[in-house]
Amino acid sequence: MGTWEGLVTGLNFALQPGVLIFCLLGVLLGTFVGVLPGIGAMAAISLLLPITYYISAEAALIMLAGVYYGAQYGGAVASILMRLPGTPQSAVTALDGYPMARDGRAGAALFAAMVSSFAGSIIGIVVLVLLAGWLSRVAVAFGAADYAAMMVLGLVAASTIGSARPAKGFAMIVLGMLLGCIGTDVNSGAMRFTFGQTELLDGVNLVALAMGLFGVAEVIGNVRDPERQAVTEKIGFRQMAPTRDDLRRMVFPSLRGSGLGSFFGALPGTGSTLSSFLSYAMERRIARRPERFGHGAIEGVAGPEAANNSAAITAFVPTLTLGIPGDPIMALMLGALVIHGVQPGPMMLEARPEMFWGLVASFGIGNLLLLILNLPLIGVWVALLRIPFRWLYPAILIFICLGVYSVRGLTYDIVAVAGIGLAGYLLALARFNPALLLLGFVLGPLIETNLRRALLISRGDPMVFLERPISAAFVVAIAGLLLLSLVQWVRRRRRAIPAR
């Protein structure tokens, strides 16, 4: 199927009222949770997972994706107006967006964030289409060894790149992979770590794990947060209108940010947080007057916002064409697809064109909806920022319980959510990243299956990973990343010793 033909199929699919409504629902809900500090896209997507049982796999994916990129828009609103980033990516936006708002230029900052987010998304969509087509042709040649090596590379990249403490990241990934072993082993039928509990035969419930780690744990951590001050400034269309100078300053940072974001988003394990940081650093480095950054430079809003939105879209490349989630949110998306019995892979573009092209079309539609809706709705989001968390979190807890109960109708799962929530809270306190645990949980079983298959084919010869050129390249990359973080660790120690 050609690109144009595919796009037409996708648009036809995504514009059906029964699908469009889920796209709209997703982006609105995403903006909502992005605006609200205290719950993020992970929590919102986990909360919605049970609801996806009631709709088709395609509509589910479109809705969950809408939550993801919608949250980026909402996160920008909260960071600019209150310096309270709702998502980690938008923390960068607060650096210059909040000073702009304090200078009475909140409207211009919001305009810059939204327009560059839109531009980033459109560029991301183009890159997604080109890369996905190419990658799914290449990936047909991938064997079990290549898949296993690539997934390990993704996990290593996720825990080392941009992390101050890679060892703690690795620990979470391995713990997640161990949790992924729980349940019936597909190859032998052996029951692993079930301890006689029949509820665990199918493994740890992904919905319970995600809701516990991201819903319950985040609620516990935020219950006693002090009340937030309301925004006083009124923001209407007049305040949103950018000056000619603003517009001129926005264009190239948005384009550069989109390029960075599209590239890093598609790589496994890096994702949108890294690309928005990189975009900010780059804009500051090439600016003629870098001292303006941090004091309300519009470039520092436009670049990172374009970067994180394009990365959010190209992140779907490895998920859809290889069936390998590059970051924890993609791991949840993959989980949602697997719940529906869909296993993404190189054949998906051909086998389920509506899923791939429908999603691509929904990105365009959803971002357009966000752009059109958010400008007039900005007053509503500002009002929402004033809702105290104490009114919200009890409802979130009840919704989590019923959501997880609706999957299998077992009280066991509600109790499990409480236990996982406590564990997640403790992990967050000790600065372990629970998102990496989830990534390991989803990828662990896939790695095990491919590892066992690869070694079976090679008659037990581990050299297979170095003999196949594709997997050898991944192995070299893994070794390089590990070496790099070792070098950084040694350097930091050397610097620390003379300080004593």
Partner 1 sequence: MQRDWTDIFGGLALALIGAGAAGWASLHYDLGSLRQMGPGAFPVGLGLLLAVIGLIVAVPALRRAGEAVPVEPWSALAVLASILVFGFGLRSLGLVIAAYLGVLVASLPAPRRGVTWRLMLAGVVTLLTVLVFRTGLQMSLPLWPVWI
Structure tokens at 203: 């493994």
285 vs 431, which CB is nearer to partner 1?
431
When the beta carbons of 358 and 403 are compared against partner 1, the nearer one is: 403
Q: What is the C-alpha to C-alpha distance for residues 478 and 487, in angstroms, rounded to an integer?
A: 14
**Any idea of the CA torsion for 243, 101, 255, 87, to the nearest 10 degrees?**
-160
Q: Where does residue 168 rank: exposed (0-12), middle (13-18), buried (19+ CB within 10 A)? A: middle
**CB closer to partner 1 out of 45 and 297:** 45
Provide, rounded to whole angstroms, the least separation between the CB of residue 402 and partner 1. Answer: 5
Query: By C-alpha distance, which of 166, 412, 162 is closest to 264?
Result: 162
Q: Helices in 196-290 by DSSP H: which ranges?
A: 206-210, 217-222, 237-240, 244-266, 271-286
Least distance to partner 1 from the beta carbon of 412, Å? 9
Residue of 321, 326, 319, 322 whose CA lies nearest to 272: 326
Residues whose CB is less than 8 angstroms from the CB of residue 480 and which lie 6 or more positions away in sequence, other chains included: none
Which of 338, 352, 320 lies closest to 449 in space, CA to CA? Answer: 338
State in angstroms the smallest separation of the CB of 73 from partner 1. 25
Q: CA separation (Å) from 118 to 21, 90, 247?
A: 20, 15, 14
In sequence order, the β-bridge partners of residue 191 are 184
Residue with smaller CB distance to partner 1, 4 or 195: 195
Query: In the complex, what is the shortest distance from the CB of residue 376 to partner 1, in angstroms, rounded to a whole number?
Result: 26
From the CB of 32, what's the least distance to partner 1, in Å?
15
Nearer to partner 1, 117 or 450 (CB): 450
Between 199 and 225, CB nearer to partner 1: 225
- Which of 18, 16, 48, 30 lies closest to 339 in space, CA to CA? 48
Pair 149, 407: CB distance under 8 Å: no
456/484 with CB nearer partner 1: 456
Give CA–CA dist 345/323, Å, rounded: 5
Q: Compute the least distance from the CB of residue 169 to partner 1, in Å.
A: 10
Q: What is the closest distance, in whole angstroms, from the C-beta atom of residue 381 to partner 1 in the complex?
A: 21
Minimum CB distance to partner 1, residue 443 (Å): 12
CB of 400 to partner 1, least distance (A): 8
Q: Are 55 and 336 in contact (CB under 8 A)?
A: no
- Nearer Cβ to partner 1 (34/421): 421
Closer residue to partner 1 (CB): 14 or 427: 427
Distance between alpha carbon 353 and the CA centroid of its chain, in Å?
23
d(C-alpha 115, C-alpha 108), whole Å: 10
Helix (H) or strand (E) segment spanning residue 446: helix 434-457
C-beta separation of 257 from 277 below 8 A:
no
What is the contact surface with partner 1 in residues (CB under 8 A)?
Answer: 51, 54, 165, 167-168, 170-171, 174-175, 177-178, 181, 185, 187-188, 190, 192-193, 216, 219-221, 223-227, 388, 390-391, 393-395, 397-402, 405-406, 411, 414-415, 417-418, 421-422, 425, 427, 429-432, 444, 448, 451-452, 455-456, 459-462
Is the CB of 192 or the CB of 386 nearer to partner 1? 192
| Pick 383 or 398: Cβ nearer partner 1 | 398
Helix (H, G, I), strand (E, B) or coil at 183: strand
Cβ-count burial of 338 within 10 angstroms (0-12 exposed, 13-18 middle, 19+ buried)? middle
Q: Could you tell me the smallest distance in angstroms from the CB atom of residue 154 to partner 1? A: 17
- Least distance (Å) between residue 174 CB and partner 1: 4
Number of residues that this document lists for the chain:
500
